[in-house]
């Protein structure tokens, strides 16, 4: 047996450390992203995924002591296992969420434990192989340097390049392919040491073929899972740096989902958007400047443009893919009456929190139509800090309206939003409307003057009329006000409260 005590082998193995570190972190990030999509609360999910993964890596490092002979052969086999399990992880979880949602959490953490253990075995084995021709003091520093560099590279590329361009499924398979390529490289480097070279070569070839096939068929895998999960056929899907956008179409028309959560259904979205917009707009009397924060689908803008006094609408939407989709896709643009093409509308693609900090504009009406506070990045948009900035951009006679989740299914969360808005000195008028796709849904009107019942509404509304506005502000006993805390930026009680209430409400 010859020992590969050459400088080229050492360099090749150190390069492999870079790839191995990058691949391992991709699998960890993919698991965390999918967990936050499906289970909510991104901070909790990423924290538990990272903790589980690091624990499993520790287990793998401890187990490496039992690998004593044929280290290159063990390293090659482990790389192939990591390639298959890690590379397939996003696809498997997507399918599991669609077909066996009850098993998703168990499968998620089982795969994280398995991949983490295998990744934990890799570096100790590489170090022991390198020990044959690299001094210990240089060995540790070199291996850790390449390990950290690989982690840095992929931590930047994952959210900015990989997921937006490839999606989670293809990203996982691509890095699985890279793990398999490392195994193939090890097969060549240590060809003189491997006892069953033919079997190892066949295993490498089969693994690469499986991953390549999965990569080519990734769209089919995603479509199969999403069609099953959403019931209706997915007619559009895109993974952006901010969220996964899916539009489906069935008997009831189009539906929009963000990260798996329904945002609107075509057959009844008018009830939601009329209730959101018109109590504030009509009560103002003659609004000229209006801002919409969130609401990138343009439905709220459609309702606002029904007022002839409106001269300017500023739509602030974080994700440019949303506003582009609902401006350029003919079927979807038709739903908002091509509102995003109106010369009165200015689209600003940025974070609403930052935009309020920077802008000096004052508005007659501000419509706040963010997704529910399922995680802390959205939860900051429901804090007293956000509402204090909102107050500074309201005209003295202006109104803001905030969508505020269900006062029936998330009663405490709804009144927490009310309490938080009132904590900055604004007067509130909470109300609710029934939207069949969502159930009983809540809104909060806010301003420096009391809200007044509008004398008239625009013509052509399908849900609201003047007589029907006042009953929206009456709350039955099971939705009546309860004591609530203020949701602060430093302590976002609303996110955990929301997750707890909706967790109990889900069947």
Q: What is the DSSP string of 467-497?
A: HHHGGGG---GGGS-------BTTB-HHHHH
Q: Over the stretch 42-53, which tens digit does the pLDDT of each residue have? A: 677 888 999 999
The answer to whether residue 179 scores a pLDDT higher than 70 is yes
- What is the per-residue burial (b if ≥16 Cβ within 10 Å, else e) of 98-122? beeeeebeebbbebbbbbbbbbbbb
Per mean pLDDT, which range of 3-17, 83-97, 243-257 is the poorest? Answer: 3-17
Across the range 220-243, mean pLDDT stands at 80
Question: Rounded distance, CA 494 to CA 408, Å?
Answer: 16
Q: Which of 208, 149, 123 is nearest to 173 (CA)?
A: 208
Which pLDDT value is given to residue 5? Answer: 43
Sheet holding 363-369, edge to edge: 345-348, 312-316, 289-294, 363-369, 394-403, 439-447, 427-435
Q: Which of 182, 146, 123, 126 is nearest to 4 (CA)?
A: 126
Which pLDDT value is given to residue 345? Answer: 97
Tally of residues, the chain:
507
Sheet holding 253-258, edge to edge: 233-239, 244-250, 253-258, 261-265
Task: Burial-class residue 233 by CB neighbours within 10 Å (0-12, 13-18, 19+).
Answer: exposed
Percent of the chain with pLDDT over 70: 93
pLDDT band at 151 (very low <50, low <70, confident <90, very high): confident
The answer to whether residue 4 scores a pLDDT higher than 70 is no
Higher pLDDT among residues 313 and 226, named by residue: 313
Question: Rounded distance, CA 267 to CA 255, Å?
Answer: 9
Across the range 210-237, mean pLDDT stands at 82
Q: Give the count of beta carbons closer than 10 Å to the beta carbon of residue 221.
A: 20
Question: Rounded distance, CA 8 to CA 71, Å?
Answer: 18
Cβ atoms of 211 and 182 closer than 8 Å: no
Q: Give the count of beta carbons closer than 10 Å to the beta carbon of residue 45.
A: 21
Which residues are known catalytic residues?
Answer: 369
Q: Which of 131, 116, 31, 18 is nearest to 72 (CA)?
A: 131
Q: Which of 82, 94, 89, 39 is nearest to 57 (CA)?
A: 82
Which pLDDT value is given to residue 135? Answer: 53
CA atoms within 13 A on the CB side of 267: 9
Which pLDDT value is given to residue 2? Answer: 37
Q: Which of 192-206, 341-355, 367-381 has the highest mean pLDDT?
A: 341-355
pLDDT band at 456 (very low <50, low <70, confident <90, very high): very high
pLDDT band at 1 (very low <50, low <70, confident <90, very high): very low
Q: Over the stretch 468-481, which tens digit does the pLDDT of each residue have? A: 999 999 999 999 99
Across the range 159-163, mean pLDDT stands at 82
φ, ψ dihedrals at 455, nearest 5°: -85, -25
Across the range 208-232, mean pLDDT stands at 83
Dig out the tokens for 491 from the structure: 């302590």
φ, ψ dihedrals at 103, nearest 5°: -95, 0
Q: Which residue, chain included where needed, has tokens 């090659």?
A: 76
Q: Which residue, chain included where needed, has tokens 């500023």?
A: 314
Question: Rounded distance, CA 36 to CA 31, Å?
Answer: 9
Compute the C-alpha angle 196/201/202, nearest 5°: 100
Look over the chain and give the mean of its residue pLDDT values, rounded to a whole number.
89
Which pLDDT value is given to residue 192? Answer: 83
Please give the helix or strand (H or E) that residue 230 lies within, else none: helix 218-230
3-state secondary structure 414-466: HHHHHHHHHCCCCEEEEEEEEECCCEEEEEEEEECCCCCCCCCCCCCCCCCCH
The answer to whether residue 206 scores a pLDDT higher than 90 is yes
Per mean pLDDT, which range of 5-14, 145-154, 278-287, 330-339 is the poorest? Answer: 5-14
Dig out the tokens for 385 from the structure: 């800090």
Which pLDDT value is given to residue 167? Answer: 82
Higher pLDDT among residues 142 and 473, named by residue: 473
The answer to whether residue 353 scores a pLDDT higher than 70 is yes
Percent of the chain with pLDDT over 90: 61
Across the range 13-24, mean pLDDT stands at 80
Cβ atoms of 201 and 180 closer than 8 Å: no
pLDDT band at 69 (very low <50, low <70, confident <90, very high): confident
> Which residues 6+ apart lie within 8 Å of 288 measured at CB?
309, 310, 311, 312, 364
Per mean pLDDT, which range of 32-46, 106-120, 411-425, 484-498 is the poorest? Answer: 32-46
Across the range 156-173, mean pLDDT stands at 85
Which pLDDT value is given to residue 3? Answer: 42
């Amino acid at each position: 047996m010859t020992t590969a005590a050459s400088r080229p082998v050492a360099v090749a193995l150190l390069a492999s450390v870079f790839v191995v570190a990058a691949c391992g972190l991709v699998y960890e990030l993919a698991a965390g992203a999918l967990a936050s999509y499906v289970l909510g609360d991104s901070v909790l999910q990423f924290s538990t995924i990272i903790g589980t993964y690091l624990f499993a890596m520790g287990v793998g490092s401890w187990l490496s002591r039992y690998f004593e002979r044929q280290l290159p052969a063990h390293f090659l086999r482990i790389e192939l296992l990591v390639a298959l399990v890690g590379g397939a992880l996003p696809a498997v979880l997507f399918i599991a969420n669609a077909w066996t949602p009850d098993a998703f959490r168990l499968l998620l953490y089982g795969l994280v434990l398995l991949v983490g253990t295998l990744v934990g075995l890799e570096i100790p084995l590489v170090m022991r192989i390198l020990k044959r021709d690299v001094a210990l003091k240089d060995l540790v520093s070199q291996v850790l340097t390449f390990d950290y560099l690989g982690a840095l590279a992929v931590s930047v590329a994952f959210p900015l390049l990989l997921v937006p361009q490839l999606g989670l499924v293809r990203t996982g398979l691509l890095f699985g392919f890279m793990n398999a390529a490392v195994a193939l490289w090890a097969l060549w480097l240590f060809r003189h040491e491997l006892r069953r070279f033919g079997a190892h070569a066949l295993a490498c070839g089969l693994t690469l073929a499986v991953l390549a096939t999965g990569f080519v068929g990734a769209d089919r895998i995603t479509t199969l899972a999403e069609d099953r999960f959403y019931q209706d056929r997915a007619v559009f899907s895109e993974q952006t740096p901010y969220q996964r956008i899916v539009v489906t179409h069935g008997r009831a028309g189009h539906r929009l989902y963000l990260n798996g959560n329904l945002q609107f259904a075509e057959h009844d979205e008018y009830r939601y958007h009329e209730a959101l917009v018109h109590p504030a707009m009509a009560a103002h009397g003659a609004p000229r400047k209006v801002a919409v924060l969130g609401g990138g689908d343009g439905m709220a803008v459609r309702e606002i443009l029904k007022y002839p006094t409106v001269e300017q609408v500023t739509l602030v939407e974080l994700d440019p893919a949303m506003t582009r989709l609902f401006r350029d896709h003919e079927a979807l643009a038709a739903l908002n009456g091509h509102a995003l093409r109106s010369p009165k509308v200015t689209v600003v693609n940025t974070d609403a929190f930052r935009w309020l900090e920077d802008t000096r504009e004052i508005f007659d009406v501000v419509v706040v139509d963010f997704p529910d506070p399922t995680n802390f990045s959205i939860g900051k948009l429901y804090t007293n800090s956000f509402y204090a900035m909102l107050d500074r951009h309201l005209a003295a006679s202006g109104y803001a309206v905030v969508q505020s989740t269900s006062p029936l299914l998330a009663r405490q969360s709804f009144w927490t939003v009310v309490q938080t808005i009132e904590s900055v000195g604004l007067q509130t008028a909470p109300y609710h409307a029934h939207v069949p796709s969502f159930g009983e849904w809540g809104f909060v009107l806010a301003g420096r003057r009391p809200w007044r019942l509008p004398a008239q509404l625009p013509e052509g509304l399908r849900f609201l009329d003047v007589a029907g506005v006042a009953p929206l502000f009456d709350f039955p006993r099971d939705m009546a006000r309860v004591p609530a805390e203020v949701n602060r930026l430093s302590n976002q009680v609303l996110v955990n409260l929301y997750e707890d209430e909706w967790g109990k409400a889900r069947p």
